[in-house]
Amino acid sequence: MMPGHSYHLVPSAQQAVALWLVLLVYISRAAASGSKANSDLLKSISLADLMRKDAGELRRTYIRSQGDFTKSFCQTHVDNAPDPEITGFEPAEKLQSICTKLKLFQEHLAAVREQQIQLQEPSNSLLSKLRNAHERLGDLASTVNMALQCLKPNELITVGSITNSPRNTFQQKVYGCVVLTRHKEFLSRVYHELKNLRNTVER
């Protein structure tokens, strides 16, 4: 270097360095977000697997507790029972659908339990199983929502209130069994969908 002379990065070179630093930060944050989402999905998968197995026993306990009642009634069409289908194409859309449906099923299980409190003895194990299933739906919704927030921050999940609840005893029994049948089917779909989503997020 000649005395009295100094060399500086030209503006274009400075911009390139700044852009590269920004890119490194972005990549680092994306990797951390993907790792967090993957961890939350793994927790969700484990919980969904446990819940889908318990859902079958819950449904059987419900049917046994209804007296003169056959499981064929559980296939009856009920207008306000939640749909077990998961919608969306992108991972964030599917997680949002799962989270929304989990909260919706939670509302319906609470309604079923309130009806069964009026129909069953307090000692009936059905009531505690319904309570546990309701709480676990909330737990799973929370872990799924954490994964969703990693992919789509500040996404809000809203669920409307239940309308047109069945009034007479037989309608309540049918409604409850339809809800629990769809609850079982939904959790099975959630389990498999979460496994697929985890593979997608890992890539």
Measured on CA atoms in the order 73, 77, 81, 83, is the torsion positive or negative?
A: positive
pLDDT band, residue 14 (cuts 50/70/90): low
pLDDT band, residue 32 (cuts 50/70/90): very low
Percent of the chain with pLDDT over 70: 82
Q: Average pLDDT in the 29-57 region?
A: 83
CATH of domain 11-202: 1.20.1250.10
Domain spans of the chain, in order of start: 11-202
pLDDT confidence of residue 11 = 54
pLDDT confidence of residue 154 = 84
Secondary structure class of 69 (helix, strand, coil): coil
Percent of the chain with pLDDT over 90: 62
- Judged against a pLDDT cut of 80, whether residue 100 lies above it is answered with yes
By the 8 A CB rule, do 109 and 58 touch?
A: no
Residue 118 CA neighbour count, 13 Å, CB half: 10
Poorest-confidence range of 47-61, 71-85, 171-185? 71-85
Would you give the DSSP letter of residue 83?
A: P
pLDDT confidence of residue 3 = 54
Secondary structure class of 61 (helix, strand, coil): helix
- Judged against a pLDDT cut of 60, whether residue 34 lies above it is answered with no
